[in-house]
Structure 1
């Protein structure tokens, strides 16, 4: 058996053609969706990058594995302590170790371990190819490494190859000579002139329209597609087109991989898994080009599985976590599901198209804000513990079927729905705390260490920027919410 997993950083599903996007961003990925199963309600349990990939590789929620942030105590996998053996539990229970237990060679092409000092990400791989850019590389730096691997290894049997691409991640890095295939395509209809004015004059918080580079309007000459800020529709186009060009440029390189696999004669029976670590806010909650919340735009991810001999052209609408993939693969490979894994297999969706989704999901974000959210029915409930200087309400509720871009907070008018969500959140939290040997929720570790990594210690500097850009109206409330930042 041969398995290729493509991990496409910052790729939100609704910017792919196979998920209904009107722009032609992903013809090669779309072909795989036509031949396999496409999951429409698939979420990372923990966002953004490091928490998401740690949850996938350990098979455990961030509250269990300890990684919920990008700095401080909550940016390290929990130590096993005195119970640790010569080889750690991670060595035995990690996702790649599943494939090794099935007699497969496991290979990784990614710089991710270096990017976040996430050395645990390497557990279980026979070989590791670091593409060397710490996540700043474009597809033209990744593809030659993958093609070389394919040419040397593809005809061998029994391998699992995990490949990272980064092009949709800011700063938008598709080369200038690639052009802009979307220059004449319409912009998102939901971002009306009124919405754009609200986002450019009233919204505050990192990665808003006026501080696209997080806390200011810094630009990068090396990345001319990446704006520092924007105030009009021309600037909005630069943002949307820059993101979509990243996806299309990446897709064309993925097409090169598929063609080489065909040349090697292995494409027909190859299992292809296409997913991402997280999505990307492109205007949702007034945030652009960032993955810093526990919302639908950040936490919903693509999942396409093309498995020859199983369901083809099928769409699964059930609720699933990213960390449900390890037990699913274990069941399909005839291997035991590790007791430490928090995931639930959805193998039946691939084998027969049966519905096997969860009743609800709880997703977390503690790197840019501290939030936990509940996804159930048509709703997304977001509870904010630290707003990351966005001035979010403590409770937000969105009816995603009618409001997929999270414009109307229903929390004050739909109190019974909020209470239902809080019940689910408490049930999940009780179960999590009861099923681990630790007495600390790492979300609260982040809070006690001064807040999320990408916000901590930035407020004084940011207040000055708000005053320069005519949004001093927000400063008193920011000071009231975060008095420790001014001591």
Structure 2
């Protein structure tokens, strides 16, 4: 048995054709979906990257595994917590990864017999690099039972797709640097601009058209789609495609100017927490199945273990599924016996801002504890059936309903923690928001303080200070 688990970093579900997008971003991903199962309403319980992957590999939400913040120096993951790659290696799988999450935290290399760190000279990694590192590993281990984790960073910022992909999504008669276009002003004069100036905007040049940057994101997805096609064809060439359980998932989505978030993955809105999850396993997963009910990423953990335990064709020790996980097996939904694993998903973030929320079929509730560089109401409530873009906050007009959600959120936190300190508030009290610290460092190097910048966030002002 082969298991290939592929993380598609920053991939927003609704930007894929198979999730309803009208532009041709994902023809091959759509093909994979047609050969297996697609989960229409899959959600990241914890965002962004560090906490999302930790929850996936532990089967536990961040509040339970203790990892709730991205980029925090305070965070550690106990070695007592079950870790999927370790469990698979101990059961007899050859475990490998092509990934650079080890650059974030050491625990991402745990359990891998072969860990290929894909880090390069830049913070972004091209999908070509992942394939070039993965192919020799696949060829060497094709006759073994293996678990391989691949982490593609397309379409993470900065959006730098090969030039030939851009005309598919941006009108070549338009000038992305037209000085008459003012659509970038909000992004350039945002509180978070100091961080994105260096990590994104300076790499793209003086873009004035926000639609152009959105088009670059789409072009990145199409490039990623071709890299996935290449690796899938290689599985066919090696003769192992039919015996491989292939799992595609997004760790989080991407906001593309919505909710005052400019090409980043923060905020508990569906743009960021709704992720693609697609699985294919010929002969085991029905073709063309679409699951409409709610699931969350931690459900992948027990689903993989159950796939191993029920596969009589391999000589692998059965693996006990831990009882204290939050994930629920997706197999009843895959086989059409159920439609989703839960009626609500609890959400959390603690990087750019600190907030928790609840996502049901009909409603989204968000409670913000620290807005960081964003101006957020303390409570937000959206009726997703009539307002899927989450633009009309009902918290002040539907007070009783908002109160019910707030109580539900409070009780859920208490139930999970069972008297232990809340790691989110430990983070806020001891270190603050990790990404605010990054902005403060950049500002201090330019001779500015957070309070000074907050009074007048201006691209021109920071650029002048940076040059001086």
Same fold (TM over 0.5): yes
Q: How many Å separate the matches in 1 of 2:222 and 2:396?
A: 40
The structure 2 residue matched to 1:315, chosen from 277, 282, 290, is 290
Whether the aligned pair in 1 keeps the contact of 2:124 and 2:157 (CA below 8 Å) is: no
Q: Secondary structure at the match of 1:268?
A: helix
Q: Secondary structure at the match of 2:85?
A: helix
Whether the aligned pair in 2 keeps the contact of 1:212 and 1:289 (CA below 8 Å) is: no
Alignment TM-score, normalising by the size of structure 2: 0.85
Deviation at 1:135, TM superposition (A): 4.7
Q: Which residue of 1 aligns with 2:464?
A: none
Q: Which residue of 1 aligns with 2:305?
A: 330
Deviation at 1:405, TM superposition (A): 2.3
Q: Secondary structure at the match of 1:352?
A: coil
Q: CA RMSD in A?
A: 2.9
Q: How many Å separate the matches in 1 of 2:166 and 2:327?
A: 42
Residue 106 in structure 1 maps to residue 81 in structure 2: no
Q: How many Å separate the matches in 2 of 1:385 and 1:412?
A: 17
The 3 A distance-change label for structure 1 pair 229 and 132 is same
Q: Which residue of 1 aligns with 2:258?
A: 284
The 3 A distance-change label for structure 1 pair 222 and 278 is closer
Q: Which residue of 1 aligns with 2:6?
A: 6
Q: Which residue of 1 aligns with 2:24?
A: 24
Superposed, 1:22-421 pairs within 5 Å as: 22-72=22-72, 74-77=74-77, 79=78, 88-90=79-81, 93-114=82-103, 116=104, 118-133=105-120, 135-154=123-142, 156-184=143-171, 208=187, 210-211=189-190, 214-215=193-194, 218=197, 224=203, 226=204, 230=208, 235-309=209-283, 310-334=285-309, 335-421=319-405
Q: Which residue of 2 aligns with 1:192?
A: none
Q: How many Å separate the matches in 1 of 2:427 and 2:226?
A: 40
The structure 2 residue matched to 1:452, chosen from 409, 427, 433, is 433
Unaligned runs of at least 5 residues, structure 2 = 175-180, 310-318, 444-448, 462-468
Equivalent residues, number = 436
1:144-187 superposed Cα distances (whole Å, 9 cap, x missing partner): 11122222222x131111101001111112233544321249x9
Alignment TM-score, normalising by the size of structure 1: 0.82
Whether the aligned pair in 2 keeps the contact of 1:211 and 1:229 (CA below 8 Å) is: no
Q: Which residue of 2 aligns with 1:443?
A: 424
Q: Secondary structure at the match of 1:455?
A: helix
Q: Secondary structure at the match of 2:435?
A: coil
The 3 A distance-change label for structure 1 pair 228 and 401 is farther
The 3 A distance-change label for structure 1 pair 106 and 229 is same
Which stretch of structure 1 is more off in the superposition, 450-459 or 102-111?
Answer: 450-459
Deviation at 1:269, TM superposition (A): 2.8
Q: Secondary structure at the match of 1:56?
A: helix
Deviation at 1:328, TM superposition (A): 1.6
Superposed, 1:466-485 pairs within 5 Å as: 467=456, 469=458
